[in-house]
Each structure stands twice: as C-alpha cells, then as structure tokens.
Amino acid sequence: MNSIAATDAAQIDQLNLVLQHLKEKFVGKDDIIDLMGICLAGRENLFLLGPPGTAKSAMVRELSKLLQGKTFEYLLTRFTEPNELFGPFDIRKLREGDLVTNTEGMLPEANLIFLDELLNANSAILNSLLMVLNEKVFRRGRENRPLPAIMIVGASNHLPEDEALQALFDRFLLRVRCDYVDPALLNNVLEAGWKLEQKALTDQPVIAASDIFHIQALIGTVDLQEIRPAYINLVEMLRNAGVQVSDRRAVKLQRLIAASALLCKRNKAIPSDMWVMRYIWDTDEQQEIIAGIVNTVVQADKEAPAQHPRAGTASLPNAEEIYKEVTGMAEKWEDASLPLSERTIIKDRLRYLSGRCEWINNEVQRKYVQQPIDQLWEKIIHSN
C-alpha cells in the first residue's frame, strides 16, 4: 500500500485535529462528528435528524469557527423566499435590464452551508435548493456558476412526509440521528467544557477551506479496486432487503468509502471502510436492517490494520442491554436505604433510556423493553 505524500498527510492530520477538538467539546457525539469529517473529505451532504436541544446547530457553528472560510446558516420556514438564501436582485443591474443576484454574504458564496429545519422548504425555493445540493451549482435566470461549498448540512426534527420534500431529502447521501447525551456522561461533558474554558482561542486547531478542497481532490486517488466485488455484493444485499440504493447513489457512496480510507491516511480502501453505508437509511425502520447487513461486512474485516475508529462501533440501541439495565435499576429502587441522590440518578437515566427505546425499530423488542420502563415509572410516581 503506497503511502500518502507528507504534505497531503499533514492536511489530513489537521482535519483530524479539528474533528478531535469537536469530540472533546461535544461529548457523546462522536458518530456525528466523524460523519462530518467523512462528508467534508468526500464533499457530500449530511442530514441531522433529532429533537431541539441536541446540539445540531451548535456542532455546525463550532465547526464554522475552526474553518477558515465563509459560512452561511439559515432557519427555513414555510414562508422563506429565494432572496433570503441567495440574495436579492442587484437593483443597478436591474435598471439596465439584467437579472443579476447580489450574493454577498449569502449562500452562493459560502464554503460551509447549514440549513436548519430543512424540510420546511416550500416550492418557491425547492428547485433552486435541489440544484445546489445535487450539483453544487447556483442557477437563477441566466446566472449559472459553481458554488465554493465544501459541505452542506441539513437538519430537521422529523423525516419528509410529502413527495416533493422526499426529493430534497434524497440529496443528502448520509443521515444520522442526533439524540440527547446519556446522563451517565454528564461528568465528562462538564469536565470537557471546563477544559475548553481554560484553553486559549489560539490553542484551537483550524483548517483553511482551501486545504479541505485539496483533501477532496485526493479522493480520486484512493484505490477501490480490491473492495469493489464486496461493495457490489453489499449493494445487492441492501436492495434485496428493500433498501433503495439507486445507481446514482451507489456511485456517489464510493466517494465516502474513499474518504474513510483517506482520513486514515490510506490510499487503498479496505472492506471496513464500508461502515459509512450504515447511514444511508430513508426511514427509522430501515436503520436496524441496514446496520445488520453492513456490520456483517465490516466485522469480517475487524483484524485489518488502520481501520477508521467508527468501523467497529454500532450506532443503534441494544434492546437486551437496555432491558438488563432497567431491570437492575428497578431492583435498586426497591432498596429503602437508597440515598435521594441515587434515586435522582435513576430517574435521569430512566428518562434517557426511555428516549433510546423509541429508536428500537423492531416493534416486538421495543414493547419488550418498554414494559419494565413503564413499570419502573409507575413505582417512581407512586413513591413521590
């Protein structure tokens, strides 16, 4: 396996330092941050699904501080107009009969674009956004120019329901759930936050947009030849399981597999780089199915050196582990001598596990786990 040039490796190291800084600040969000890194290197779009207050916006904003480039962020509503995203028409040019957009400070000039509540998009801006997301091109009237975007992030607290928005959602190659942080990690969150308070701003790693573009240009140098038969087989398995992997998406996903290799400073992909395929779901129900299929490929490669850290990590809640933990908490609750502080911890933990339970896609397993959760809540309520 040929080594990556020293200058290229230095830029990749710098991107990994930025990602590590984000992980230190946002404890429990490693999967989302790793996917940000993959999409930055692969120049693809990332969709964040989760309720308010789960740090979706905060993570993107923190990334924008570490990125030496232009950022554009906008909260979409049903009434958002194209001018609010792309800029107004230039009045001076309009008087001369030319329809030219004044894009200063707007989406067409940004390197990092964040569209919050993306699925509120209306038909007036839908077609323009599809062009932006799919081709990284701004087209309005006779204007037609490539965008300097290195990554576009969309966020919402729900999945698309109507057909028009499904087309918009489809332009985001990777999708990831953004959930509340496990209360058991609260001490880590506080400690990480305090360490960052003590760090000078100059100590924070930064990376230039031009360096990201250079990393993106290296994607085509990654050798996918050896894994292609396994990749074709994986795509066929997913299709047979009812997951729609179009030819267009199958081609584009190769960039993200190559990005996984590149971030590990390899110029040759290995089967475990296909871990990114866990995040191509369209519905909640598909997540468990896809993860199960992809994990069989990834785990078969577990002895390979220089794997991406996300390759060996499962993202879905384990029903059996949650069940065992809840039954153990129920036994502790029965102890009359249990301190009030411990009872408060159990309540917080139960609230978190209850939320995790909702993400168990197998209905039988979900009901099986929900039962002891509900029973423990009943005990807690009656003890107050």
Residue 191 sits in the same domain as residue 111: yes
How far, in Å, CA of 306 to CA of 31, rounded?
18
Residue 304 sits in the same domain as residue 361: no
Q: How many separate domains does the chain show?
A: 3
Question: Tens of pLDDT along 161-175?
Answer: 888 899 999 999 999
Q: Provide the mean pLDDT of the chain.
A: 88
User: What is the model's pLDDT at position 347?
Assistant: 85
Residue 143 sits in the same domain as residue 185: yes
Domain boundary among 315, 343, 368: 315
How far, in Å, CA of 34 to CA of 230, rounded?
23
Residue 80 sits in the same domain as residue 152: yes
**Which whole number is the average pLDDT over 50-79?**
93
Q: For the CA atoms of 334, 337, 341, 345, what is the dihedral angle to 10 degrees?
A: -20
Domain boundary among 315, 342, 365: 315
How far, in Å, CA of 253 to CA of 287, rounded?
17
CA 252 to chain CA mean position, Å: 17
User: What is the model's pLDDT at position 196?
Assistant: 64
User: What is the model's pLDDT at position 366?
Assistant: 84
89 located within any domain:
yes
How far, in Å, CA of 330 to CA of 80, rounded?
49
User: What is the model's pLDDT at position 143?
Assistant: 80
User: What is the model's pLDDT at position 255?
Assistant: 97
Q: Which residue segment(s) compose the domain that 266 sits in? A: 225-315
More confident residue, 4 or 108: 108
Residue 1: pLDDT above 60? no
How far, in Å, CA of 263 to CA of 302, rounded?
18
Structural tokens at position 177: 């759930």
C-alpha closest to that of 168 among 156, 176, 151: 156
How far, in Å, CA of 185 to CA of 210, rounded?
36
CA angle 176, 178, 183 (to 5 degrees): 140
C-alpha closest to that of 74 among 139, 129, 143, 3: 129
Residue 150 sits in the same domain as residue 70: yes
Structural tokens at position 173: 């190659």
Domain harbouring 124, CATH code: 3.40.50.300
In sequence order, the β-bridge partners of residue 154 are 47, 115
Residue 34 sits in the same domain as residue 157: yes
Domain boundary among 315, 336, 361: 315
User: What is the model's pLDDT at position 336?
Assistant: 85
C-alpha closest to that of 157 among 178, 141, 180: 178
Q: What is the pTM of this model?
A: 0.80
Residue 138 sits in the same domain as residue 85: yes
